[in-house]
Amino acid sequence: MRFASALGFLAVQLLAAPLFAAATRPLYEPAISPDHSEIAFVSGGDIWTVASSGGEARLLVSHPATESRPIYSPDGTRLAFISTRTGAGDLYVLNLRTSELKRLTFDDARSNLDAWSPDGKFLYFSSSRHDIGSNADIYRIPADGGTPVVVAADRYMDESQAAPHPTNGTLVFTSGSMAVSQWWRRGHAHIDETTFTQLTPATSAAGTPTYSPVLENHAKNLWPQWTPDGRKLLFMSDQSGAENIWEKPVGG
């Protein structure tokens, strides 16, 4: 779920109502297109789209397997999503102009889609393929296909929900708990506490990346997302006792 889509969730509920009025399927994981003209969402394990101005929803991706987590590319020409058609969950990219569908990941472990890079050349995803105890690491893969490259992979630490900065090349991610996989737990528990960390890539091949804390408040904090100007993070947190959307200035 992305915070740029928070209002989109309500829009999906309202705009798609005529199509699903007689159904009981939930509508979830909304994504707003870059030009704000369209909303992609998941229902019944398939991906649908609906005009943000209103109208009837249409089926975009349908398969006996489960499709989830649609995210538009920055230029709006492609849609990345997760599909279980080839296993636990792999990344796919659909070209919205040509209808070409390309599979990007090939692994027995599930790949969880996090974000597009701001230039649209890469996809960030999280996977436990090489860690222990289902802890996820963060990878980056070319959007046209290629070999995944590790971005953050501390042993015994869960790192996921990567949010690349719009301009400066840094990355904020979530780490530290089980909340990523069971965010719906009611009531506070220490195993749900998460932190946000900012990763600054190495400036040379011989250098090392640096990590700096962004948010450590002994709460459940999830789904960090930058504002378009890169000055604030939007995220979900239960620091007030209930799950609400917060914003935090970062840097400067």
Q: Confidence class of residue 183 from pLDDT cuts 50, 70 and 90?
A: low
Going by pLDDT thresholds of 50, 70 and 90, the confidence category of residue 38 is very high
Give the number of other CB atoms < 10 A from CB of residue 64: 8
- According to DSSP, the residues that pair with 71 across neighbouring strands are 80
pLDDT of 6 above 60: no
Over the stretch 48-97, which tens digit does the pLDDT of each residue have?
A: 999 999 899 999 999 999 999 999 999 999 999 999 999 889 999 999 99
Query: Can you tell me the mean pLDDT for 20-46?
Result: 86
Residue with tokens 């840097």, as numbered in its chain: 251
Helices (H), strands (E): how many in the chain?
2, 19
**Range with top average pLDDT, 68-77, 104-113, 146-155, 194-203:** 68-77
d(Cα 230, Cα 236) in Å, to the nearest integer?
Answer: 17
CB-CB contact of 124 with 101 (8 Å): no
Q: Which DSSP string do the residues of 129-197 spell out, in sequence order?
A: TTSSTT--EEEEEETT----EEEE--TT--EEEEEE-SSS--EEEEESSSTTT-TT--S--GGG-EEEE
What is this structure's pTM? 0.85
The number of beta carbons lying within 10 Å of the beta carbon of residue 212 is: 12
Separation between Cα atoms, residue 113 and residue 92, nearest integer Å: 10
> Is the alpha carbon torsion for 97, 149, 175, 129 positive or negative?
positive
